[in-house]
Structure 1
Amino acid sequence: MSTAAPRTAGPDHLWSVDEHLDDILATVRPLEPIELHLLDAQGCVLVEDVTVPVSLPPFDNSSMDGYAVRVADVAGASERYPAALEVVGDVAAGAAGLLHVGPGQAARIMTGAPLPPGAETVVPVEWTDGGLGEGPATGMRARSLAPEGATGQVNVYRPAEARAHVRAKGSDVKAGDRALAAGTVLGPPQISLLAAIGRGTVRVRPRPRVVVLSTGSELVQPDEELRPGQIYDSNSFALTAAARDAGAIAYRVGAVADDATTLRDTIEDQLVRADLMVTTGGVSVGAYDVVKEALSYAGDEDEPGSGVEFRKLAMQPGKPQGFGSVGPDHTPLLALPGNPVSSYVSFELFVRPAIRTLMGVTDVHRPRTRAKLTADRALTSPQGRRQFLRGRYADGTVTPVGGAGSHLVAALARANALIVVPEDAESVAPGTEVEVVLLG
């Protein structure tokens, strides 16, 4: 993986959301392709077209349990005047050295078994007496008649058209067809297809490894006892889950105390398993904002060109942000605010697209749509900032969930969308059409 150097600007420059995102996407590069076994490639992106080496199915085969026959031999068959055929043997799935079906003959055939030479169609076992001369076989009884390997006679009570209940060779895909195109994300159906055409490995961009760590001496892990002044660490869990949802292999690091040396040592220890680092907290202007203290360096002689720039963005929530690279491999690092809603919104806007870029997917963004705002009163927004409010989207309408506070985790849990209020709008009246980022 290679990264370009992020842009720099003066400390007083107020970055727009688009400027910051464009800088991230111009800096992060897709991971180098590797060859992986099929199950290891789940969730990865193909880097080359896959063509079909052999037709699927590779031979004509039966789609039913029944009898392989010639069309002329069952023409006009009925319950009153069945066609009586000689059973010459069985054709099971995987059979080789097939029987030959001649005039007046039938071969008992199983689902998936190759159509034997001479046969032109398949009559389901339910259209026969199962070879026991007792009238049409139905239901479970049909499957219990005529022991395997039995020969003799079978009565057929209905005619069948040519190639009825026959899966034709190449009816799924033909040899030489393109099975999957480069850029395809491999899910279970795609892996099934690759296995079906005989591909055991595939060349893909691997899923990015993302390390998530939160900072703050006040943070306590879930299930531990809270003491005065402490809160549970929710950010690292939320962002790790969000990274996995985006397609990454994500690792959560327990909260790091407000100590710059400890934080920097922790980050350096984690670089061995990181294609992308994400921190949360410590990026504002407080006395204990250790992420800025630990990472605001750009002149390290051992790591030229590395360092993180901390920025102010014209957005709410999520004004303070950090972006740059760390370590000898210039691993990208995004430093997010510590308030839970600010952290999550920042992830959706900036980190998720970075992860998707590392994966090599074509569309890295969440889908967006327009929706009618339903609310009891107008939404207010600070002038000059792009605001992202939690909302509930359904059937072309969106309703705000909770207030604008960046600490309201419960409201975030009920939201499935972000309502976008542009920089030039100070209020949005109910009934107005607004832009919506869909999170689900």
Structure 2
Amino acid sequence: MTATADPEAAANELTPLADYLGSVLRRLRALPPLDLDLTQSYGNVLAEDVVAPHSYPAFDQAAVDGYAARWDDIAAAARSAGYAAGHGGSPGGRTVRLNVVGDLGAASWRPVRLTPNACFSVAAGAPLPLTADVVVPVEWTDQGMAAVEIYRVPKRGYGVRRAGEELPAGTLLARAGTYVSPALVAVFAATGLGHVVVRPSPRVVIVATGDELVDVGRGSQPGQVVDANSHALTAAAAEVGALAYRVGICDDDPEALRGLLEDQTLRADLIITTGGTGTGPGDMVRRILTRREGGRAGPVTFTEVALYPGTSLGFGTVGAEEVPVVCLPGETGAAMIGFEVLARPAINLLAGAEPVFRPSVRAHLLETITSPAGLREFRPAHVAERRGGGYTVQPLAGGPRTLSGLAEANGLLVLGERVTTAAAGSTVDVLLLDRRR
């Protein structure tokens, strides 16, 4: 695990973050589409437009429990009873009376037709009798079985759902790039779809490197550092929607690390490593992945990016399958910020999701803060909506390296390379973090 360079030593040779991200993301392509059963499609992104093969509702049906009737019969009976239909009343206790000639449930399938001055008792979802154009709710009647007294006359069409009134056949249900939500699964199923073509969830493997690392369940001590990175980044990848696999800890053994990465290319669409991105003698990841072989440059390029925290980032491909690999710093705060700015967009791009970056807002800063010159800083913060519109943002104590601040934050305050001081009351950019409760 390597310490991050001094943030104040912002040199001109640092690559602007926007330029670096553009160069990396242009090298990635969405994963090939996959035809999935509808029950497995949730959480994926559609690879093509989806059109309704059938109408919804598929047939004329009752929208409420009640009595299906012809509105003209009810209206005529209402007039003869001495009150106006459609005005929701029965003056003087007068009612409309219809004969109940049968019952229809959601499983009824034989077509039936209404005769004059008759009705069917119907359950919500039941097919309507032919010529029926109104359903009188149960609570507006005496709930009679052979004959029913109607106390309140509905308007024509009340309680009726016509075939295709919500989604006619041929309706565009969702465009390519749309995230498949539970509600969208319901829409697909209701219109007759049993499978959809999606981009598969990327398989992301996370590897932590360093001789000093030990697994969780104990405290750190001199010469040992608990591996928080692989656990945190596995959770972060899963939050994005990836199928995340934590490999665990790999010592700074060149052959072991090379073999591990080669093995993981068989099951990964993206590999994320942490640690060893610097130029010190123990930075094995950088030494192995930049080593020239056969006169060719190494498969991964490490770049000093104008980013705080964590300027050293690596990107390239490994293995015969040329699986993309993202190399993040070993310091946990820097690794998590590096994940947000580089690995998370890469996962979204592989998944075909749009947009690839988190949403952002402009917010009024509540406290004056300073930032290292020449670096784009991402600082944990709490963002809140203001009464009357807009947002405020409060930087959290400790700066971007504090894990407690990252755990508490619901946003990342972004300060550009030219910003050294941001005054209270100024307007700044804030990335909105997901915080599922």
Aligned match of 1:328: 320
Displacement of 1:429 after TM fit? 2.0
Q: Secondary structure at the match of 1:99?
A: coil
CA-CA distance at 1:435 after TM superposition: 1.8
Shift of 1:84: 2.3
The answer to whether residue 353 in structure 2 is matched with residue 361 in structure 1 is yes
| Cα offset, 1:253, TM superposition | 1.3
Write the letter of the residue equivalent to 2:110. Answer: G
Q: Does residue 154 in structure 1 map to residue 144 in structure 2?
A: no
In the aligned structure 2, how far is the partner of 1:81 from the partner of 1:40?
A: 56
Matching residue of 1:53: 53
What pairs up with 1:2-401 in 2 under 5 angstroms? 13-75=13-75, 76=78, 78=90, 80-131=93-144, 146=145, 152-224=146-218, 228-299=222-293, 307-375=299-367, 378-395=368-385, 396-401=391-396
Q: Is the 8 A contact 2:66 2:136 kept in 1?
A: yes
Q: Which stretch shifts more, 206-215 or 221-230?
A: 221-230
Amino acid at match of 1:104: N
Code of the aligned partner of 1:387: E
Q: How big is the alpha-carbon RMSD for the aligned residues of Structure 1 and Structure 2? A: 1.9
Residues 322, 34 of structure 1: alpha-carbon distance in 2 compared, 3 angstrom cutoff: same
2: CA distance, partners of 1:197 / 1:405: 48
**Number of aligned residue pairs:** 405
Q: 2 CA distance for matches of 1:154 and 1:404?
A: 73
**Could you tell me how far apart the structure 1 residues matched to 2:281 and 2:291 are?**
18
Shift of the alpha carbon at 1:88?
0.9
Are the counterparts in 1 of residues 42 and 180 from structure 2 also a CA contact under 8 Å?
yes
Match of 2:30, SS state, is: coil
Look up the match of 1:140.
none
Supply the AA of the counterpart residue of 1:86. N
* Matching residue of 2:407: 413
Contact residue 380 and residue 400 of structure 2 kept, 8 A: no
Give the Cα separation in 2 of the matches to 1:159 and 1:25: 63
The answer to whether the 8 A contact 1:36-1:202 is kept is yes
Distance 1:240 1:300, change over 3 A: farther
Identity %: 42
Residue aligning to 2:4: none
Conserved 8 A contact 2:53-2:193: no
- Secondary structure of the 2:266 match is helix
TM score, norm. by length of structure 1: 0.87
For 2:333 and 2:188, how far apart are their aligned partners in 1?
41
Deviation at 1:272, TM superposition (A): 1.2
Q: Tell me, in whole angstroms, the C-alpha distance in 1 between the residues paired with 2:47 and 2:301.
A: 33
Cα distance in 2 for partners of 1:271, 1:234 equals 23
The one-character-per-residue Cα deviations of 1:136-190 (angstroms, maximum 9, x if unpaired) are xxxxxxxxxx5xxxxx222222222221110111111001211111221111111
Whether the 8 Å contact between 1:392 and 1:398 is mirrored in structure 2 is yes
Measured after TM superposition, the shift of residue 379 of structure 1 is: 2.0
Instruction: State the partner residue of 1:439.
Output: 433
**1:425, distance to aligned residue in structure 2 (A):** 2.2
Q: What secondary structure is seen at the aligned counterpart in 2 of 1:155?
A: strand
What's the CA shift for 1:227? 5.4
Query: Residue 160 and residue 379 in structure 1: after superposition, are their counterparts in 2 closer, same or farther (change >3 A)?
Result: closer
SS at match of 2:246: strand
Q: Distance in 2 between matches of 1:56 and 1:110?
A: 18
Q: Report the alpha carbon displacement of residue 99 of structure 1 after superposing the two structures with TM.
A: 2.6
1:122-141 C-alpha deviation (Å, 9 max, x unpaired): 1111122221xxxxxxxxxx
CA contact (8 A) 1:74 1:160 kept: no
Higher relative contact order (CA 8 A, sep 6+): 2
* Partners of 1:44 and 1:386 in 2: CA distance: 32
Distance 2:162 2:267 in 1: 49
Question: What amino acid sits opposite 1:400 in the alignment?
Answer: P
Q: CA deviation at 1:82?
A: 2.2
